[in-house]
Amino acid sequence: MRIEQFSNGLWILKEDLSHTLVSSNFSQPRATTHKMNIIEVKGLCKDYVMGDQVVHALRSVDLTVEPGEFVAIMGPSGSGKSTFMNLIGCLDRPSGGAYLLNGEPVATMGDNALADVRNRYLGFIFQNFNLLPRTSAIKNVELPLMYAGVKNRTERAKAALETVGLAQRMDHKPSELSGGQQQRVAIARAIVNDPVLILADEPTGNLDSRTSEEIMAVFQDLNRQGKTVVIVTHEEDIALHCKRIIRFKDGRVLVDERVKNQVDAREALKQLPNPDAPPIAVA
């Protein structure tokens, strides 16, 4: 009996039956599959060298994230949250440790392979939206498809904008959109390639509370559709919209806990005043 792992991450149990096989009834290997982690890091370290000083931004982080999780990364400023996101997002390389992304050992990959992995597996959202300022919403969303060499770009970009409820604004440039709408465009751009993992570093950091709630509703919808989502936030009430909170301190994981009563953003929105509602007439 031997076990092989295929590139798609499935573990295959292969029985060597050649010595017992007479008929071909059992000629196919029996296969069992295990749920594969989306993120698996072990001993992950990141040092930044600044002249003769070394900043130990991450000190041996062990962590796994399974498909369908919705994780909030929290912790004080400088605790290593963005460093961690940049590493799991393959935007930077660790100084030490192992990282399997969807089963692939990305820590040791070359630049081209890493760019390919980023395009295939990941969608990023940043605090300041990072949209091209003079380009329409739909063209911004089409960008990752262009890099991936996809043909029916407009159709897919439209579908992504519909998913985030922004189909009516697709010809607007970022300056013609509100902060929340710009963040929706950024989310549409992040999901247009159908990534397995959505990463967002302080996605509501520049937004007021109602708009933050609306953005969390979009993330919750995506998570309910099966997407794995990891966000960084400084706000406790935003973190409570997730299913799990991981707290960093001094480059280490301090606390890793399940959220018992996940806040439903759509329910929370019903409790907030609606700015679009007609004004109440005063007698």
Ligand X SMILES: Nc1ncnc2c1ncn2[C@@H]1O[C@H](COP(=O)(O)OP(=O)(O)OP(=O)(O)O)[C@@H](O)[C@H]1O
Looking at the Cβ atoms of 80 and 89, the one nearer to ligand X is: 80
Q: What is the DSSP letter of 107?
A: G
Residue 57 binding result from ligand X, Mg ion, none, given CB thresholds of 5 to 8 Å by partner type: ligand X
Residue 79 binding result from Mg ion, ligand X, none, given CB thresholds of 5 to 8 Å by partner type: ligand X
Give dist(CA 63, CA 68) in Å, integer: 15
Distance in Å, CB of 57 to ligand X, minimum: 3
Looking at the Cβ atoms of 210 and 252, the one nearer to ligand X is: 252
Distance in Å, CB of 75 to Mg ion, minimum: 9
Residue 37 binding result from Mg ion, ligand X, none, given CB thresholds of 5 to 8 Å by partner type: none
Distance in Å, CB of 81 to ligand X, minimum: 4
- Rg of the chain over Cα atoms, rounded to whole angstroms, equals 22
Distance in Å, CB of 76 to ligand X, minimum: 7
Residue 77 binding result from Mg ion, ligand X, none, given CB thresholds of 5 to 8 Å by partner type: ligand X
Q: Measuring CA to CA, how many Å separate 269 from each of 48, 130, 167?
A: 42, 26, 21
Note the residues at the interface with ligand X (CB under 6 A).
Answer: 48, 50, 55, 57, 75, 77-83
- Closest among 174, 231, 183, 189 to 210, alpha carbons compared: 183
- Residues with Cβ within 8 Å of 197's Cβ and at least 6 positions away in sequence, in order, are 38, 39, 88, 101, 102, 121, 122, 123, 227, 228, 229, 230
Looking at the Cβ atoms of 138 and 200, the one nearer to ligand X is: 200
Looking at the Cβ atoms of 82 and 181, the one nearer to Mg ion is: 82
Distance in Å, CB of 248 to Mg ion, minimum: 10
Q: Measuring CA to CA, how many Å separate 23 from each of 26, 29, 30, 31?
A: 7, 14, 16, 19
Distance in Å, CB of 67 to ligand X, minimum: 25
Give dist(CA 101, CA 39) in Å, integer: 5
Residue 50 binding result from ligand X, Mg ion, none, given CB thresholds of 5 to 8 Å by partner type: ligand X
Contact yes or no for 14/32 (Cβ under 8 A): no
Angle (nearest 5°) at CA 160 between 220 and 68 = 35
Looking at the Cβ atoms of 194 and 236, the one nearer to Mg ion is: 236
Looking at the Cβ atoms of 46 and 156, the one nearer to ligand X is: 46
Looking at the Cβ atoms of 83 and 140, the one nearer to ligand X is: 83
Which residue has 């196919």 as its token pair? 28
| Closest chain position to Mg ion (CB) | 82
Distance in Å, CB of 212 to ligand X, minimum: 17
Starting from the edge strand earliest in sequence, which strands make up the sheet with 39-50, in order?
Answer: 53-65, 39-50, 96-101, 104-105
Note the residues at the interface with Mg ion (CB under 5 A).
Answer: 82
